[in-house]
Amino acid sequence: DTINGAVTFDHVSFQYPDTQAAVLHDISFETKPGATVAIMGATGAGKTSLVGLIPRLYEQNTGVVKIDGKDITTLNTEYLRDAIGYVPQEIILFTGTIQDNIAWGKEDATLDEIIEAAKLAQIHDTIISFPMGYDTMLGQKGVNLSGGQKQRLTIARALVRKPGILLLDDSTSALDIRTEATLLQALRDVACTTFLITQKISSTLHADLILLLEDGSLLAQGSHEELLENCVLYQRIYES
């Protein structure tokens, strides 16, 4: 049972159990399968919290989150975790080979699957440029990867599960514009719905949908052209 990756938020509000105020207020939006969704907003606006609701890392207090039209609270958690690739804001790599780092969490992945994920994540060419290729050691006794290389490696780790939905929490911040655009196009080509938390206008240009959060509210949503026309904050970000 694979998913198409349509995601719907219907009047979703959310508050962490240990806090006084809600961090997300009445969020509603809808994405088509395979869409690229950029999420922007200042630090603390609620970007990480919003994407965390999709794999049910947390539960919203009101409203409904749907995947392919199904309320996610009715879906099997294992199925959800398998269908959704999540690249957290904090990168975790461990001492071990590149291959093991990509396969982390899916130890039965074949080398072919690992290579396919690395290609999609735009990191395969870098890996094969190392003398030991996929057997290259990371960590103290191994190579030191650049920030952007580490980000792509963790993206490959999420892609090895062939998810229908990919959540990238600031995971392209260290990539140059061209590499990022190639990555987003590759994800589009395999019809993987991608939520990209970003501070860069370059990543929103080609998004099908931009969600602009301010203090937990959806200040504006639409395409780059629509927001440029209708949203003063977006204009300001664009011009800065």
Question: Which residues of this protein are in contact with ligand M5T, per CB under 6 A?
Answer: 16, 19, 23, 41, 43-49, 89
Part of the chain binding Mg ion (CB under 5 A), chosen from 20-28, 34-42, 43-51, 229-237: 43-51
Q: Is the separation of the CB atoms in 6 and 65 below 8 Å?
A: no
What's the min distance (Å) between Cβ of 179 and Mg ion? 22
β-strand pairing of 193-197 with 165-169? parallel
What does the alpha-carbon distance between residue 207 and residue 222 come to, in Å, rounded to a whole number? 9
DSSP lists the bridge partners of residue 119 as: none
Amino acid at 175: L
**Of 48, 179, 199, 202, which lies in the binding site for Mg ion, with binding defined by CB under 5 A?**
48
**Least distance from Mg ion to the Cβ atom of residue 175, Å:** 17
Q: Given the complex with ligand M5T, which of 44 and 105 has the nearer CB atom? A: 44
- Provide the 8-state DSSP code for 143: B
The Cα 221–Cα 90 span in angstroms is 27
Residue least distant from Mg ion (Cβ):
48
At closest approach, how far in Å is the CB of 89 from Mg ion? 5
Using DSSP bridges, classify how beta strands 36-41 and 209-214 pair: parallel, antiparallel or unpaired.
parallel
From the list 47-55, 111-119, 180-188, 209-217, the region that binds Mg ion by CB under 5 A is: 47-55
- Per partner kind, with CB cut-offs from 5 to 8 A, the member of Mg ion, ligand M5T, none near residue 79 is none
Compare residues 132 and 219 and give the one whose CB is closer to Mg ion.
219
Taking the complex as a whole, the smallest distance from the CB of residue 14 to ligand M5T amounts, in Å, to 9
Q: For residues 9 and 51, is the Cβ–Cβ distance under 8 A?
A: no
CB of 116 to ligand M5T, least distance (A): 30
CA proximity to 10, closest of 73, 57, 79: 73
Nearer to ligand M5T, 18 or 107 (CB): 18
Q: Cα separation of 137 and 173, whole Å?
A: 24
Q: Which residues bind Mg ion (CB under 5 A)?
A: 47-48
